[in-house]
A and B are shown apart, each in its own frame.
Chain A
Amino acid sequence: MIRDAFGLIYAGEQNINLRELVYLRTVGALPVGGRYRSIDFVLSNMVNTGIHNVGVIAQRSYHSLMDHLGSGKEWDLSRKSDGLFILPPYSSSENMGSYRGIVDAIKGVMGYIRRSKQQYCIFSGSYTIYNRTYDDMLKYHIDTGADITMLYNEEEADSFKGERFKDVRIHQNEEGRVIDLEINSPLTDSKKAGMDTYVIRKELLEYLVEDCVSRGKYNFVSDLLMNNLNRIRIMGFKHEGYVGRLHSVASYYKLNMDFLDVDVQQDLFYANNRIYTKIKDEVPAKYAKTSNVKNSLIANGCIIEGEVEDSILFRSVYVGKGAKIKNCVIMQDSEIYNNSTLEYVILDKSVNIRQGRRLVGDEVFPVVIRKGAIV
């Protein structure tokens, strides 16, 4: 249990590869795995580590994020001292309310960082999905005398086809020091993929951010890390176990399908600590006599009268009689009426599919239906 660290989550990622899914929400607020938002994973990881001071940097379209996080009660972060701080941008003499990069965003919340009483900062994005605590990583950081420790896992560069988002590849020497970094490189021969999670001492973070900003450099990986590889000691710490990343619509789809693998479920939900999320007090899922469900993840509040196969159903989804759903991700409150057929479809929240409709996509190009649409 770490008492001497605070968490800082950058939830302002604008990943246009996610198309309609992020028109009205940030990547961190993206629903995944039948009942979670992607930010739930890093946030729960921090809480499970014993961190009770977490700042979440919001940027554009953060309403759904704020609605989701609320007071932080569900993560046990509604506290008298410390707790959860949602940090939206605001206009100041130095800032026009729109960040020029992650470093600029950290600069924008420097007041929160200065006020935090803890010595170490766990800094993370909100687009990676994994379950671990950070105790061992912090110990490694201290033992190796690192200035920054970055978390990575082994993943072949060609394991996700198509568009990439913040694909940071790491090259280490024998002692584990990071000697080179590449970002979104199609030519990389490194299997070590950064997980967008860093341990850094608070004062050093303050110094490096001010240093970058004073030179007009705002990018975290290419400016703050790459430019300082020789000046500071950056170490890489390996994560074993499942890692999901939200690069694109195709990888969003694949990530959700990964949840159907019992080993992945075990790793993400049962082996270590709990992943917390907003509670909705839904009724357990109801299966009618006419239902037929195979290889699927079904959340509470669903009512299933039709067929569901190889799919993820979020909370309170309705599947009418004779409807066939295969290889789909159906978000909260969507309704699929009688005799409709959906294959390789991602339905955003509260979509209404009328009777007898037919929508078919492909594994590498699933059909995405935007929030609230009526088909």
Chain B
Amino acid sequence: MINKKKCVAMLLAGGQGSRLGVLTKHRAKPAVTYGGKYRIIDFPLSNCIHSGIDTVGVLTQYEPLELNSYIGTGAPWDLDSMNGGAFVLPPFVKGERGEWYSGTANAIYQNIYFIEQYDPEYLLVLSGDHIYKMDYSLMIAAHEKTGADATIAVIQVPMEEASRFGIMNTDEDMRIYEFEEKPKKPKNDMASMGVYVFSWRKLRSYLDADAKDEKSSNDFGKNIIPKMLEKNEKMYAYPFKGYWKDVGTIFSLWEANMELLQEQPELDLYDEPWRIFSRNPNMPPHFVEKNAKVKNSLVSEGCHIYGTVENSVLSAGVVVERGALVRDSIIMQQTRVGEGSKIIMSIVDEEVNIGNDCTVGGGGEITVVGGGAVIKDEVVIEAGESVNAKRVVKNTAGGGRK
């Protein structure tokens, strides 16, 4: 077979990420902005191309439009190659019936023919929910060395947080004997990263069996992995060391952005051979006016800063007008902060227009303003509030919003 690939990657990008609230109202979680220019999905896609994996199926389902147009031909990640590339794989009608992806395993099952085109030895299953840099080729090498049927990447997490993750219990040579999803009393601190390498033939037989099982919820964590353990298949944990962050909640997304402002961030984005690629907005360098003040922040291209920006992350094309203050906040693409407005400890989504003399947030809890919102002059949005996208917020006579 001309198109034969040693390894094909399948990226699960269909999740809603409901805990991100208004930020994922009109986009899937992997399309959420991070670090002033990236989308979460840039990380697994860049990791793939740097790991020598040039065939990536991107499984979309929830609000796919933004993600589909973002990925396009895959050219920004160098994934527009001749025999491979990035393929967006939404659910489709087969024969007489069409069906949604009922679970992570079902999403792979429904695309068996896509995978079989490349007759791969290994299948790399990724999720589009995490920020990390990882060389998957080393994990595949480990998988080959142990002769495993499945290898699951794990990372050490603080013991007190272990009950939030899927925990792998292994013997000394890292062979997994038990998998516990969000255990109340975790036996160790090795959390699954949602990165799996399977020997494709083996996985395929489990997917076929799982599809026939009507009681199954067609999920890797709930069904496939436990079933493989039950049958005593060779499953190994692959310990990963480095920065790995689940940005599944408003707080963790905010925190992950703030971590980039440290003097030496743990996640090195300046690493030349492991550049994180993204679709480029093609805007001029940003402009800082003579009365502006910018401290401890990340500022992207196309921004115009006339006011004060402190401890914040600004995406492309953001305008901060005179007398405005942005502090401890994340401002996404093309948003305007009007004169004299104060944005404190907030996440403001794309294309929001904040009028003059508004107050958004105040610390304590994170405030979120959804994409495309228009905030009228002098409106106050309290700390911890979440303002819906596409909603026009009116100002009331006494100030403050009811």
A interface with B by C-beta (< 8 Å)? 33-36, 73, 260, 262, 265, 268-269, 274-277, 279, 281, 283-289, 291, 293-301, 312-314
Contacts and interface: CB of A to CB of B under 8 A. Distances in A.
Contacts of B35: 283-284
B163 interface: no
Contacts of B242: none
A265 B288 contact: no
Interface residues of B, number: 37
B353 interface: no
Interface string B73-85: 0011000000000
B285 A300 contact: yes
B270 interface: yes
Interface string B281-304: 011111111111011111111001
B299 A279 contact: no
Contacts of A294: 288-292
Given A34-B284, A276-B282, A287 B296 contact: yes
A84 B269 CA distance: 32
Contacts of B289: 262, 294-295
Contact of A298 (B37, B280, B291, B299): B299
Given A283-B270, A284-B300, A285-B298, A35 B284 contact: yes
Given A33-B284, A285-B298, 19 more contacts: A262-B304, A276-B282, A279-B76, A281-B280, A283-B36, A285-B299, A287-B295, A288-B263, A288-B296, A291-B295, A293-B294, A294-B289, A294-B292, A297-B284, A298-B288, A300-B285, A301-B270, A313-B285, A314-B285
A289 B288 contact: no
Nearest to A296: B288
Contact of A281 (B261, B276, B285, B300): B276
B222 interface: no
Interface of B: 35-37, 75-76, 261, 263, 269-270, 275-278, 280, 282-292, 294-301, 304, 313-315
A284 B275 CA distance: 13
A265 B280 contact: no
Contacts of B298: 283-287
A346 to B, nearest CB: 16
Contacts of A35: 284-285, 301
A276 B283 CA distance: 8
The 6 lowest CB-CB distance pairs between A and B, nearest first, are A34-B285, A284-B36, A284-B300, A299-B285, A295-B290, A284-B298
A293 B301 contact: no
A372 B179 CA distance: 55
A274 to B, nearest CB: 6
A289 B296 contact: yes
A312 B288 CA distance: 11
Nearest to A275: B284
A339 B41 CA distance: 40
A265 B284 contact: yes
Contacts of B315: 284
Q: Secondary structure of the B side of the interface?
A: loop
Contacts of B278: 281
B314 to A, nearest CB: 7
A299 B288 CA distance: 11
Contact of A287 (B76, B269, B297): B297
A293 to B, nearest CB: 5
Nearest to A269: B284
A300 B301 contact: yes
B81 to A, nearest CB: 14
A287 B284 contact: no
A265 B301 contact: no
A313 B292 CA distance: 17
20 contacts: A35-B285, A35-B301, A277-B282, A279-B76, A281-B277, A283-B270, A284-B300, A284-B315, A285-B299, A286-B261, A286-B297, A293-B288, A294-B288, A294-B289, A294-B290, A294-B291, A294-B292, A295-B290, A297-B287, A298-B299
Given A281-B278, A284-B35, A284-B299, A297 B270 contact: no
A262 B287 contact: yes
Contacts of B299: 284-285, 287, 298
B98 to A, nearest CB: 34
Most buried by B among A265, A275, A281, A289: A281
Contact of B285 (A283, A287, A288, A297): A297
A295 B290 CA distance: 4
A268 B287 CA distance: 14
Nearest to A315: B285
Contact of B37 (A262, A284, A289): A284
A283 B263 contact: no
Contacts of A283: 35-37, 269-270, 298
Most buried by A among B278, B289, B291: B289
A285 B286 contact: yes
B161 to A, nearest CB: 28
Contacts of B275: 281
A76 B138 CA distance: 36
B328 to A, nearest CB: 14
A205 B288 CA distance: 46
A10 B260 CA distance: 44
Most buried by A among B76, B282, B315: B282
A299 B286 CA distance: 6
A262 B269 CA distance: 31
Given A283-B269, A284-B35, A295-B289, A289 B284 contact: no
Contact of A299 (B270, B297, B301): B301
A324 to B, nearest CB: 16
A196 to B, nearest CB: 23
A287 B76 CA distance: 26
Most buried by B among A34, A279, A283, A299: A283
B5 to A, nearest CB: 25
A35 B316 CA distance: 15
A291 B294 contact: yes
A293 B294 CA distance: 7
Contacts of B270: 283, 301
A138 B336 CA distance: 38
A301 to B, nearest CB: 8
Nearest to A308: B288
Contacts of A73: 75
B285 A33 contact: yes
Contacts of B292: 293-294
Given A279-B280, A281-B276, A300 B288 contact: no
